[in-house]
A and B are shown apart, each in its own frame.
Chain A
Amino acid sequence: SQQGEEDPQALSIQEGENATMNCSYKTSINNLQWYRQNSGRGLVHLILIRSNEREKHSGRLRVTLDTSKKSSSLLITASRAADTASYFCATAGPYNNNDMRFGAGTRLTVKP
């Protein structure tokens, strides 16, 4: 069964706007990762945040993690048409990073 649940399921914005996607999970985690997938192709790793971290930045991406609420958010600033993709959060359990549990994803559309 899937662990993370992304919200919203779909998001449509204009180029230049910010996009915020949320992820909730159910059990204790070691880390949480965000991935991007273009048109049903392979997943591209975006960022990993450990359970003892609260915020992490990578370029135009900002990820937050609230372990007390079992939730995370991904913010993409100044979005571009090329950011159009599906975004997934994945959680890793306490023992290893390889059995990751993915949510159903948020489908982001950035209109030029």
Chain B
Amino acid sequence: DAGVTQSPTHLIKTRGQQVTLRCSPKSGHDTVSWYQQALGQGPQFIFQYYEEEERQRGNFPDRFSGHQFPNYSSELNVNALLLGDSALYLCASSLGASPYGRLYNEQFFGPGTRLTVL
């Protein structure tokens, strides 16, 4: 059973460009959350997708957008890249349908995509 997978592993972009990161959730999971982790910091919640809709969003500008597909995989898009967007981007999947699941289900994290903006 494959866990959470993310692609690409590493990415180098220049300021102003746009980037798309991809995530495939763990088998059986229907909810995908995205986090940004700057060097030396803990992950910060960007947003969460469930049933192809953004269910919750953290304190990130509209340059950060996402999408969830019918197979539950997800994309994170960042427009007009800034130097400060350089970070490890983590995707996490979980079961989010039931109220119990939303409260207590473990999130499984992928290995992340290292984005460097020059």
- Residues of A bordering B, CB below 8 Å: 1-2, 4, 30-31, 33, 35, 40-45, 48, 50, 88, 90, 92, 95-105
Contact = CB atoms under 8 A, between A and B. Distances in A.
B66 interface: no
B43 A41 contact: no
B88 A96 contact: no
Nearest to B48: A98
B44 A40 contact: no
Select the residue from B31, B43, B111 with max chain A CB neighbours within 10 A.
B43
| List of 10 A-B pairs having minimum Cβ-Cβ separation, nearest first | A102-B42, A96-B102, A43-B109, A42-B109, A42-B111, A102-B43, A98-B48, A45-B106, A104-B42, A103-B42
A50 B31 CA distance: 21
Contacts of A105: 41-42
Interface of B: 4, 31, 33, 35, 37, 39-45, 48, 55-56, 58-59, 88, 90, 92, 94, 96, 102-112, 114
Contact of B44 (A2, A30, A98): A2
A1 B104 contact: no
A105 B41 CA distance: 7
B104 A97 contact: yes
A20 B109 CA distance: 24
B88 A31 contact: no
B44 A45 contact: no
Given A42-B111, A96-B103, A100-B43, 7 more contacts: A4-B42, A30-B103, A40-B112, A90-B42, A98-B55, A98-B56, A98-B107
Given A99-B45, A104-B40, A105-B42, A48 B33 contact: no
